């Protein structure tokens, strides 16, 4: 039998628990010894390290499209807190250190979120698309990944099918953050901007980055276990020195998540046991 959390038994306790977790979450960062990046500059650094784009409207979610439009609103509010951010040497980027007050002047709307294993409309839903985009860009820089969390469930097909599997990064205020640290002598800057349907991202730098990064899956498989289907993917990276052409390949991590939608016909699914 799955053990139920106290807040599942007594839902009225949930707001108190969330308040407590958030207070402890930020208090811990006050004393963790990290210097967090906070300076926003509208003067752009001269060198482009990576650029990417992410369509914001997912027609395959199976839910009312109003949630998608609300998500766009939420993404734009949160993006204002990171657009133009300078990450100095020895500084750490934290998604929540910056986005914690993104709704102070203009409130979020209800977007889609995964809550207790189910997709529901909830306040501020959809911000993971911004953390996903940021993480994908960070993987193409020399920044050190400090904290990243996989989605436990992939509820519907991605709008960016060309990306390698398992390169997402979920966030949940009070519980899960996205953090990277600048262990180089270079300065990096985040840019986030939009058109009507697409969110764009760039990482800029003061000095050119001499390494070219290629992120890929060396393996993707599916297994059925306890009546559920899971995707298992190895995320790897090739680092190529632009001057010498020397390449280094290494595995970054293995990602596993439950698949919450019907896979294409013919997808091989291994038996992972009962």
How, if at all, do strands 247-259 and 153-154 pair?
A: parallel
pLDDT of residue 274 exceeding 60 = no
Backbone angles phi, psi at 12, to 5 degrees: -65, -15
Sheet holding 47-55: strands in order across?
47-55, 198-205, 188-194, 86-87
pLDDT greater at residue 9 or residue 251: 251
Q: Domain ranges in the chain?
A: 34-209
**pLDDT exceeds 80 at position 270:** yes
Give residue 156's pLDDT: 77
The token duo for 109 is: 């709307």
Backbone angles phi, psi at 24, to 5 degrees: -65, -35
**Which of 210, 205, 212 shows the shortest CA–CA distance to 46?**
205
The mean per-residue pLDDT over the stretch 101-105 comes to: 94
Q: Helix (H, G, I), strand (E, B), or coil: what is residue 238? A: strand
Of 132, 169, 133, 147, nearest in space to 257 by CA: 169
What interhelical angle do 66-79 and 128-138 show, nearest 10?
A: 50
Query: 61 pairs with which residues across the strands?
Result: none
52-77: per-residue pLDDT in tens?
999 999 877 768 899 999 999 999 99
3-state class (DSSP) for residue 27: helix
What local confidence, expressed as pLDDT, does residue 113 receive? 82
In 3D, which of 123, 126, 147 has the Cα closest to residue 79?
126
Q: What percent of the chain has pLDDT over 90?
A: 76
According to the model, what pLDDT value does residue 12 have? 63
Measured between its terminal Cα atoms, the distance across the chain in Å is 15
The answer to whether the pTM exceeds 0.75 is yes
Contact 130, 191 (CB under 8 A): no
Exposed, middle or buried: residue 31 (CB in 10 Å: 0-12, 13-18, 19+)? exposed
Count of Cβ atoms closer than 10 Å to residue 235 Cβ: 20
C-alpha angle 213-39-138 in degrees, rounded to nearest 5: 15
Q: Pairing mode, if any, of strands 211-225 and 270-271?
A: parallel
Q: Which of 3-17, 20-34, 91-105 is the least confident region?
A: 3-17
| Token output for 181 | 């640290």
């Amino acid at each position: 039998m799955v053990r139920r959390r106290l807040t599942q038994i007594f839902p009225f306790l949930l707001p108190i628990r969330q308040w407590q977790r958030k207070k402890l979450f930020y208090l811990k960062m006050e004393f963790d010894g990290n210097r967090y990046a906070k300076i926003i500059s509208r003067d752009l650094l001269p060198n482009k390290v990576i650029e990417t784009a992410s369509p914001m409207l997912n027609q395959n979610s199976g839910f009312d499209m109003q949630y998608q439009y609300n998500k766009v609103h939420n993404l734009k509010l949160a993006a204002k807190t990171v657009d133009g951010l300078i990450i100095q040497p020895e500084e750490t980027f934290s998604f929540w250190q910056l986005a914690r007050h993104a709704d102070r002047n203009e409130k979020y709307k209800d977007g889609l979120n995964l809550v207790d294993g189910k997709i529901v409309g909830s306040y501020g839903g959809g911000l993971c698309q911004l953390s996903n985009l940021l993480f994908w860009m960070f993987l193409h820089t020399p920044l050190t990944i400090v904290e990243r969390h996989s989605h436990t469930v992939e509820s519907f097909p991605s709008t960016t099918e060309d990306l390698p599997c398992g390169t997402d990064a979920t966030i949940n205020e009070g519980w899960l953050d996205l953090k990277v640290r600048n262990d180089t002598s270079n300065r990096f800057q985040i840019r986030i901007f939009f058109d009507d349907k697409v969110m764009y991202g760039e990482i800029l730098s003061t000095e050119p980055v001499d390494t070219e990064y290629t992120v890929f899956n060396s393996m993707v498989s599916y297994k059925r276990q306890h009546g559920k289907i899971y995707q298992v993917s190895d995320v790897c990276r090739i680092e190529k020195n632009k001057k010498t052409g020397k390449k280094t390949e290494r595995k970054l991590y293995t990602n596993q998540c439950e698949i919450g939608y019907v896979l294409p016909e013919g997808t091989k699914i291994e038996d992972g046991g009962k």
